[in-house]
Structure formats: structure tokens, C-alpha cells
Amino acid sequence: MTGAKHLFIPGPTNVPERVRMAMNVPMEDIRAPDFPELTLPLFEDLKKVFRTETGRAFIFPSSGTGAWEAALSNTLSPGDKVIVSSIGVFSMLWAKMSRDLGLEVIEYDEEWGDAFPLERLAEDLAADKDKAIKAVLVCQNETTTGVVSDVAGVRRLLDAHDHPAMLYVDGVSSIGSIDFRMDDWGVDLAVTGSQKGFMLPTGLGIIAVSQKALEASKTAGLKRSYFSFDWHAPLNDQGFFPYTPATVMLRGLREALNMIFEEGLENIFARHTRIAGGVRAAVSAWGLQTCAKRPEIQSDTVTTVMLPEGIDGNAVILNAYNRYNCSFGKGLLRLDGKAFRIGHLGYMDEGLALTGLGLAELAMIDAGVDIVPGSGVGAAVSHYSRAQSELRLAA
Ligand SMILES: *Cc1c(COP(=O)(O)O)cnc(C)c1O
């Protein structure tokens, strides 16, 4: 097909030209004396993105799922009680992994479109007199439903109950795109991957670990090897890794971090809010609903659009792909055929978002959705125009 491939899935996301060029490099010596000049600043700069001064970052050649395993296997023991809320495929899979690894999982099976249920956690923490709960796992941004959960709220509850359980956050589709504060929110393990907010290809699992979690890893009984913090930390301190690091990805990470700091985290968060606002304006103008049930839990990185009864969501996705060279995320599991997802995170701006919204309109109209052509795009243009005036006023 002529023209560009348009990618609006919530990961892998679009990789900027600058990052792609930075990865077009010869292979290099992973034990060279100057290799740490690349790697040591990466660890320090990752901490700035996670907003931790007291924790440390690890980089694994894996996807985000590997970093999930690193978080659990390094810090917990067989039979440990952990709370996970299942509010979409990703949080559900983290619960499954917890069971696979031998943990005792208390799974909050919430309706999809809802956020982590703080009321239920408050009850369980109050009832847990002997402090048997060792961990609370929160998916900050559930990529299935486009729902954001209140990580700071979980921390407040743990503190209010004087509860020592550690706080684990899946930030794969949020860290680097929407507000996340490891130290302020008392997060013990924060997990992400390279192919979403970091604007890189898939291939790095990245994790930030608090001092409390590092301490816990000394006595935690689950088996671990490839992802062992103990194995990585002393070598990482010297700028090296226990096995071959993905050097090309590290070069890309350097450039992506440069871009992140040039724009500034606050500006990046504001851009995601602005772009997402236009997408939500479009959804309303189409007369459709987001899967997220309330405005305050709607994600700024991915929007899951619910389709009217009788419309085949997969036809929308296939029309977009086959006719217009454009990918949207499909509705997953319970949402299969009922919804589609628009990813708007990472390297995203008004121009790209309007392209995606225009093609979403086309694909939906082709699939029989009764919407006024241009209605969503028009609403987004109005939103972006208003947002620009506000930016100019503020400047
Ligand atoms: C993408 C994603 C994952 C899985 O990451 P992989 O890199 O595909 O292993 C986990 N959690 C969330 C919230 C995600 O969006």
C-alpha cells in the first residue's frame, strides 16, 4: 500500500526518527572501558523519570512482562499473600503470574471500566490484624479499558492502616506519559517497558526498586536467576551487566531520555492530557462512550471506545487495517468485538491524533456505525484550538 503505516495501538508506539537514527549504530564492546559512560547515566536518568532519588533502576533485556516477574520473584516468598485487582487483561495477567510463581492471590474481580477499588482495600487492610498481606499490586493505567487507578490513594490507605505491605505498580503504559511519583507515593516496585511511553521498540524491561524492596530481596524466598537483583546490582554499579545487554536499545534509550528531558516531564504529561482530551471530545461527538466509567478515571494514554450493539468491533479494526493502512487496538477478552482502542501515548501530537481520529471515523462508518462524518475530528479540532489558546495565554 502507498503511504505511511499509521500506528494507533497502545504499544508498541511510534518511534521518533531521532531515536531510530540513534539506534542505527555498529555493534559495540560490552566490556569496553568506556561502556559505562553510556550506561551509568542511563540508570541515573531513569530514576528521574520514575521520580525516585532513593531507589535504583534495573534494565533487563525483556518486555514489560519480564519486569513484572523481576518485581515479584526478587521480593516475595512462596505462599505470600498479595492483593491484585483484575480490571482488564493486564492486571488479570499479573494476578495469574503471581499465582504461577506460588503466591497466594486475593484477586479483586471488578467490572471492566472501573478502577482499583480503594474501599475494598480499606476493608481488607483493616481486617488484616496480623499483617499477613505482603504486597498490593496496582496497574496504574489498565491498557485494556483505558482506566487510571489512584496509586497515591493506595499509599494513603496503607499508611492510614500503618500497614507494612509493599506497593507494586505496573506502569508499563503510564510511566513517562502521565504523572507518576515513586518516592512521593511510596512505591516499592515500579515496572515499565521500552515500547510505550519511552518511544522505543520492544526489548527492555525497566524497573525501579525502593530501598525497602531491595532489603526485602535479601530474604525473599521465591526462586530467581535471570532477573536477580543481587546478580545485576554490583555489576550495574560499575556500568556493566551480568549478560549481554541490548546495546542498540540502550543507544535508543539514551536518545529517548534526551527527548524526554528536552520536553520536560510536566510538558509531556500536559501534552498527553491535551491530546487525550481531543480524543474524548471526538468519542462524545460520535455519540459513543468510553469503557472508563467516569471522567476522572479516563486514561490520557489510551482510549477504549465502546461500539453500539450490533456493530462488529473487529470489522472496524480490519477496515482500518486493510483499507487505510491504520492499526487500532482490538477489544480484548470481554471486550472482544465490542470495542476498539486508540493508543495516544509516547510520540504523539495533534497532527497524528487527528489522522487517527479521521481514520477511526472512516473505519467505523464503513462498518456501519451511524456517525456524522467529521463530527469527531471537528470536536477534536475545537478542543486542540482551545487548548492552544490557553497555552498561549499561559506563556
Ligand atoms: C503492554 C503492557 C504490559 C505488557 O508488557 P509487554 O511489554 O507486552 O510484556 C503490561 N502491563 C500493561 C499495563 C501494559 O500496557
Q: Detail the DSSP E strand segments found in the chain.
A: 6-8, 56-60, 81-86, 104-109, 133-139, 141-142, 147-148, 166-170, 189-193, 205-209, 289-290, 302-306, 326-330, 339-343
Using the predicted structure, report yes or no on whether residue 326 has a pLDDT greater than 80.
yes
Using the predicted structure, report yes or no on whether residue 3 has a pLDDT greater than 90.
no
Closest-CA residue, ligand 1 atom 5, reads 64
pLDDT above 70: percentage of residues in the chain: 100
Q: How far is CA 25 from CA 13, 15, 74, 198, in A?
A: 21, 16, 34, 19
pLDDT at 395: 85
Query: Which residue, chain included where needed, has cell 498527553?
Result: 272
- Residue-wise pLDDT for 227-269, tens only, equals 999 999 999 999 999 999 999 999 999 999 999 999 999 999 9
Closest-CA residue, ligand 1 atom 14, reads 172
Residues 374-387: what's their mean pLDDT? 98
Cβ atoms 142, 87 nearer than 8 A: yes
Residues within a 6 A CB radius of ligand 1: 11, 63-65, 90, 139, 141, 143, 170, 172-173, 193, 202
pLDDT at 1: 77
Cβ atoms 144, 90 nearer than 8 A: yes
pLDDT above 90: percentage of residues in the chain: 98
Q: How confident is the model at residue 2 (pLDDT cuts 50, 70, 90)?
A: confident
- Residue-wise pLDDT for 5-46, tens only, equals 999 999 999 999 999 999 999 999 999 999 999 999 999 999
- Residue-wise pLDDT for 101-138, tens only, equals 999 999 999 999 999 999 999 999 999 999 999 999 99
> Separation of 187 CA from ligand 1 center, angstroms?
18
- What does DSSP assign to residue 289? E
> Separation of 371 CA from ligand 1 center, angstroms?
32
Phi and psi at residue 292, to the nearest 5°? -60, 130
> Separation of 88 CA from ligand 1 center, angstroms?
12
Cβ atoms 373, 357 nearer than 8 A: no
- Residue-wise pLDDT for 351-361, tens only, equals 999 999 999 99
pLDDT at 162: 98
Residues 156-171: what's their mean pLDDT? 98
Cβ atoms 133, 104 nearer than 8 A: no
Residues 141-168: what's their mean pLDDT? 98
> Separation of 172 CA from ligand 1 center, angstroms?
5
Using the predicted structure, report yes or no on whether residue 4 has a pLDDT greater than 90.
no
Cβ atoms 339, 306 nearer than 8 A: yes
pLDDT at 330: 97
Residues 80-91: what's their mean pLDDT? 97
Residues 149-153: what's their mean pLDDT? 98
> Separation of 13 CA from ligand 1 center, angstroms?
12
Residue 383: partners with Cβ closer than 8 Å, 6 or more residues away: 274, 277, 278, 281
pLDDT at 57: 98
**Residue ranges of domains in the chain, CATH in brackets:** 17-262 (3.40.640.10), 264-394 (3.90.1150.10)
Q: How confident is the model at residue 74 (pLDDT cuts 50, 70, 90)?
A: very high
Instruction: For CA atoms 62, 201, 37, 26, give the dihedral sign.
Output: positive
Residues 161-172: what's their mean pLDDT? 98
Please state, in angstroms and rounded to a whole number, the distance separating the CA atoms of residues 281 and 13: 22
pTM comes to 0.98
Mean of per-residue pLDDT scores for the chain: 98
* All three cell numbers of 235: 555489576
Q: Mutation test of ligand 1: which of 13, 90, 227, 332 has the most ligand atoms closer than 8 Å to its C-beta?
A: 90
